[in-house]
Amino acid sequence: MNAIADLEPTTDLAPPVSSIIVTQATGERAVVSINAVKTQASSASIPPDILQNVNIVLIDGHQMAVGCSIAQMAKAKNIPVVIDGGSWKPGFEKILPFVDYAICSANFYPPNCHIGEEVFAYLSDFDILHIAITHGQKPIEYLSCTKTGIVDVPQIQAVDTLGSGDIFHGAFCHYILRESFTDALALAANIAADSCKFFGTRCWMDLK
C-alpha cells in the first residue's frame, strides 16, 4: 500500500510552509498556510508504475492535476479511491467521478452548497456511494448506498488535535480494505481520538 514517487513541481518556487498554533487548554490547532497552490506538480511526472502494489488511493486535492490522473489510473485498475475533503478546492469536480469514498470535514462546501444535506446531494450526483462528513468531537454523518446515519466518536480530553484529520483518513484507508463503511469510520475515529491525547503527531504511535 506504500508508494513513493518523485513528483517535481512545475516551478522553482520555495515549498509551502505552514505555521501552526496549538491552544494548550483545548488542544485545538490553527494552521496558517498557502498550501501547495503555487507549487503544483505536473501529471507528466507520474511514474508509470506508481500504483504497483497499491491497494487504495487517498487524494486530498492539494496536487489537483496529479491527483486527477492517479484517480483515473486507479479506477481503471479497480483500486478504490478515497478523497480527504478538508475543504473544497477548484478542480475537485474533475476527480469526483472516480471516487469510491468521500470523507469530508464540516468545512467542505462544493459550489452552491451551504449545509450538509446539499453536500451529500452534490457528491451523490457523481455516483459516490459512500460519503461521510466529520464534525470534530460530534458524531460523523454518513450516507452509504442510500442509507443515512451517524457514527459516534470517542469523547476525550484533547491535548493536541494537530494531524488528527490526516490520521483519521489514513486509518480509514487501512480499515476499509477489511471492514464495512461504518465500522471503518468508527475504528478510524478511535485511532484519531487516541492521537489527540498526545502532543505532536507521532508520540501516540510510540506509546500504543
| Tens of pLDDT, residues 77-119 | 999 999 999 999 999 999 999 999 999 999 999 999 999 999 9
| Complete DSSP assignment for 102-161 | EEEETT---TT--SHHHHHHHHHTTT--EEEEEETTEEEEEEETTEEEEE-------S--
For residue 65, give the 3-state DSSP assignment. Answer: helix
- Tell me the average pLDDT across 184-197: 92
pLDDT confidence tier of residue 172, bands split at 50, 70 and 90: very high
Q: Which residues contact 28 (CB under 8 A, 6 or more apart)?
A: 22, 158, 161
Question: Quick one: which of 65, 4, 3, 70 has its CA closest to 36?
Answer: 65
Confidence bin at 1 (pLDDT 50/70/90): very low
Give the whole-angstrom CA distance, residue 99 versus residue 74.
Answer: 10
* DSSP bridge partners of 150: 141
Q: What's this model's pTM, rounded to 2 decimal places? A: 0.81
Q: What pLDDT is recorded for position 8?
A: 45
Tell me the three cell numbers of residue 70. Answer: 492517479
The CATH homologous superfamily of the domain defined by 55-207: Ribokinase (3.40.1190.20)
Cell of 62: 492539494
Q: Which three cell numbers stand for residue 90?
A: 477548484
- 171: its cell numbers: 486509518
Statement: residue 3 has pLDDT above 70: no
- Residues of the chain with pLDDT > 70, as a percent, come to 79
Neighbour-count burial of 165, counting CB atoms closer than 10 A to its CB (0-12 exposed, 13-18 middle, 19+ buried) = middle
Residues 122-139 have a mean pLDDT of 96
Q: What is the pLDDT of residue 61?
A: 82
State residue 150's pLDDT score: 97
**Mean pLDDT computed over 27-37:** 65
More reliable by pLDDT, 27 or 140: 140
